[in-house]
Amino acid sequence: MHYGRRHRRGRKKHLEAGLPLAATRQAALTLNDDPAKVEAMGVTLTEDCPDGYRPLELLDFDDRWWNRFLDAAELPRPDRVAACAQDHGHHPGTSNRLGRFKIWEELLTEHHGDPAALIYETPPTMMTRLRDLHESANRAVTADSGSAAVLGALFDPEIERRAREQGMTLVNIGNSHTIAFLLHGGRIHGVYEQHTGCLNPEKLWQDLDDFRHGRLTFQQVFDEWGHGCLTLATSDKAGAFPETVVIGPRRAMLHGYDASFPAPGGDMMLTGCFGLIKGMEMLGLEDRA
């Protein structure tokens, strides 16, 4: 059996049943950045399917399946595919939490908070899941799912206007990760990311208040098992980013607080899809589709 991407639970149950399991080294990155640790789990690393094993290819996007489906339905194939997935990145020898936050740090420092840097025509080498997705989906435009959600909120022209002119704290409360951005003047001025399971409504609201006022530190979030927090010098016009806009499948966590809960494009659960469109627009890709 060749192990695919993001199927840890199936791997655990398979091995607990006393069955052998093998994986390619690329697929094994979904389990751990360290090959020795993957082998210690009981997984054999090999580039060829061993005798007696049944190969199983697991993909985030199966281009062949979709092409067969579209052909059978007599529907045209898309000119371009855009897709998102959560990707901690490949960071051998260091914490995945630290490694993932490096992505946000580079967004603020190297890309000066440009939202267009949240979407990739070609993903960075360290983002192994997005690179696999990029290749399997015929060189798709990709983004991290947290990035796509934030861009999706900006798909709403009114939200984008208020974020640009007044300043905004934009929060995506996902099933596993909560990410917040400080927005003003068409730029991202701060990033906060924590595991949703480590939060309750009071804790999240306090973190967001400290975040927007520059009081929340990277070390505090990291010590509380999150990814971190980074805030850059902000525009005087942004004030304390007073408006809080909340999206995401677990947005009800902040119901009752001084926040708004939009549905960009008319369907909150499609926010990430609209975010991919918004990101392509920012890169000028929709004109080349």
CB 228 within 8 A of CB 97: yes
Average pLDDT over residues 267-273: 93
For the ranges 52-61, 135-144, 244-253, the lowest mean pLDDT is seen at 52-61
Instruction: Choose among 242, 230, 109: nearest CA to 167.
Output: 242
CB atoms within 10 A of CB 111: 14
Distance of CA 208 to the CA centre of its chain: 19
Average pLDDT over residues 88-92: 81
**Each residue of 7-51: pLDDT tens digit?**
667 788 988 999 999 999 888 888 888 888 889 999 999 999 999
Q: pTM (2 decimals)?
A: 0.87
CB 262 within 8 A of CB 149: no
Distance of CA 42 to the CA centre of its chain: 29
For residue 21, the model assigns a pLDDT of 93
Instruction: Choose among 10, 286, 265, 30: nearest CA to 133.
Output: 30
Instruction: Choose among 178, 184, 205: nearest CA to 259.
Output: 205
Q: How far apart are the first and last CA of the chain?
A: 37
**Each residue of 37-47: pLDDT tens digit?**
889 999 999 99
For residue 236, the model assigns a pLDDT of 67
Residues 6+ apart with CB under 8 A from 148: 84, 118, 119, 271, 272, 273, 275, 276, 279
Confidence of residue 3 (pLDDT cuts 50, 70, 90): very low
Average pLDDT over residues 263-285: 93
Side chain identity, residue 138: N
- Which fold, 96-288? Nucleotidyltransferase; domain 5 (3.30.420)
